[in-house]
Structure 1
Amino acid sequence: MTVLKVIELMSESDESWEHAAQKAADKAGKTVKNIRSVWIKDFAATVGSDGKLDTYRVTCKVSFEVKD
């Protein structure tokens, strides 16, 4: 039987939501092994004074296999 654990992370990027999600996975991968998936729970962005999107933010759930 496989057991998975889920942690929730928040990340941001000034490039894109995809980059923010990748940053979360990269950061989690430094201390967590056997990552199986990243589920994006929420997207958000800040808007600059020029009216354009400034900072892209994601809240995501990272699941990983728990090994004996």
Structure 2
Amino acid sequence: MSIARVTEISATSTKSFEDAVQEGIRRASKTVRNIRSAWVKEHQVRVADGEITEYQVNLMVTFVLDD
């Protein structure tokens, strides 16, 4: 039997929501082992002078705990 934990992280990108998700998972993978899935809980943009300057996602990341 496996036991999993879910933790929330926030990631940003100046390119796109997809890039923010990929960067968030890439960074989390450096310190969290056994990541199995992620759910995009929220997404938002930052705007300056009528233009999008940054994309942000809040991810719920699921990982399996070591035995």
1:9 corresponding residue in structure 2: 9
Count of residues in Structure 1 that have an aligned counterpart in Structure 2: 67
Q: Does 1:57 align with 2:46?
A: no
Name the CA distance, whole Å, in 2 between partners of 1:64 and 1:57.
21
Q: Shift in Å at residue 67 of structure 1?
A: 1.8
Structure 1 alignment gaps of length 5 or more: none
Which runs of 4 or more aligned residues in structure 1 lie more than 3 Å from their structure 2 counterparts after TM superposition?
none
1:29 paired residue number: 29
Shift of 1:2: 1.2
Q: Identity over the aligned pairs, expressed in percent?
A: 37
State the Cα RMSD in Å.
0.8
TM score, norm. by length of structure 1: 0.92
Deviations 1:4-53 (A, max 9, x none): 1111101100000011111110111001111000110000001121x221
Q: TM-score, normalised by structure 2?
A: 0.93
